[in-house]
Each structure stands twice: as C-alpha cells, then as structure tokens.
Amino acid sequence: MNALNSDSIRVAEFLKLTLPSTNYYLCNAAAPITVNGNTYNALGSLLGIDEIQRSIKANSADLKVSINGIDPNNISLVLGADLKGSKIEIWRGFLDSNNQIITTPTQQFFKRYQGIINNIAIVEDYNEAERIRVATCVISSASMRLVLESRNAGIKTNPQIWKNIYTNDTSMDRVPIIAATYFDFGKEPTGGSQTTPTAETATTTYIAGPE
C-alpha cells in the first residue's frame, strides 16, 4: 500500500446503503468525495462506525453505525426508508493532500465490511445550549456470514413444489402415499405377504444329482 509511504496518513470511511428505491453514499470526510463515479456525502464526525472485527478466519460479528445530528422533523423519513433488510457496505480510503482518493499506482480504496441491516433505533437528545432536539439513528447490521448461517436452504419434496422446478419429473409423486403409510419395522409382514418359515415348518429340498 503506497498510501503508507508518507509522513502523514489521511483516511476516511465510506458507507453505502443499498435500499429498494435508491442508494445512499456517506463518508466521514470533511468534504464530499467522488469514488468510481459515486459521490459520498460528507458527514464528518456525525458519522460513527464501530470497530470492525478483523481476523484471518471469517467471523459473524455485528456492526453498528450511527448517524448523528438528524432533525427530529425528518425522523419519519428515516423510519420510512425501508432500511431493515437492506445491504450495507463499508470501505476505507486513503487520501492525498487534496483530500481525494489516491489513485497511483493503484486506487487506495479497500472494502472492509458487507452485511445486512437487521435493526434500526432512533435516540433523541435535547441540546440545552441550542434549545433544540437532536436525533441519532443507530443502524445495526449482521455480517454476511451470519446471514448465510441463518439461511434456510433446500427444497421441499412434495410433488407440487418439486414440479414447479422439475416439471416432468415424477420421482416425488409417491411421497404423500409413503408419508401416510405406517411401517412397523421388525415385525413379520402381513396382508398377503409370505411369512418367514420357522424351524418346525421348514422343509428340505433335495436336488437330484449323481450319487
């Protein structure tokens, strides 16, 4: 990373929220920064990101992001934004002296986290000095590993669902019949089947051959 070959290191965290209707781009820099055609709005210290757990082995640690300084009149916009279930991505970018992403010899913009928002909370605080109320939105997200661990995978084996995928396959047609059949394993078969001969009823069959 050539960004480290400097007397001073300038970094910023970049946040992307992918919602069903639109995408939001935020960063904690002092001014808006455009990366790969996307302009990240500058929130400065109003954007807080918890420490991201880093380890060699993938982990399922949650992450919290806080957005401070929200006008209480705009809380309804936050609650109606369909944040839950949306994808959240976080990058770290190294900046040059003009507070822009370093691009030589390679772009110094690295992805650090990707997850799914599973909860949001609104916290209001009264600023006595300004005599106004200020709201904070706390976003909790689950890592993609936790999402995959909680995912229900597979397919039901009843004929209706099976034929939605495999139209001409009849291998599951007898599943309802078998599911409603009682099997008494270990018991001698009944209902027309031949029973296993016992020692008293068994007969010996001789095969003719040279004496």
Distance CA 46, CA 43 (A): 5
Other beta carbons less than 10 A from residue 121's beta carbon:
11
Report residue 207's pLDDT band, with 50, 70 and 90 as the boundaries: very low
**In the predicted structure, residue 13 carries a pLDDT above the cut 90:** yes
In this prediction, residue 55 carries a pLDDT of: 65
Mean pLDDT over residues 101-112, rounded?
88
135-154 pLDDT per residue, tens: 899 999 888 777 676 666 67
| b/e per residue 27-40 (b: at least 16 CB within 10 A) | bbbeeebebeeeeb
**In the predicted structure, residue 205 carries a pLDDT above the cut 50:** no
Mean pLDDT over residues 155-161, rounded?
82
Amino acid, res. 67:
I
Whose structure tokens read 């004929």?
A: 159
**In the predicted structure, residue 83 carries a pLDDT above the cut 70:** yes
Mean pLDDT over residues 20-38, rounded?
91
> What end-to-end distance do the CA atoms of the chain give, in Å?
94
User: Domain map of the chain by residue range?
Assistant: 2-149, 154-188
In this prediction, residue 211 carries a pLDDT of: 47
What is the percent of the chain where pLDDT is above 90? 19
Helix (H, G, I), strand (E, B) or coil at 38: strand
**Cβ-proximal residues to 87 (8 Å cutoff; 6+ apart), any chain:** 17, 18, 114, 115, 116, 117
Mean pLDDT over residues 40-46, rounded?
91
